[in-house]
Amino acid sequence: MTTCKRCGRPLDAADLVRHERGRFVVVHCPDCKFPLGRYNRHGDDPGTDGPRE
Give the pLDDT of residue 23. Answer: 83
Domain segments of the chain as ranges: 2-40
13 strand-pairing partners: none
Q: Which long-range contacts (CB under 8 A, 24 or more apart) does 45-48 make?
A: 46/20, 48/20
pLDDT per position as a tens digit, 1-53: 899 999 999 999 899 999 988 888 999 999 999 999 998 877 665 555 555 55
| pTM across the whole model | 0.66
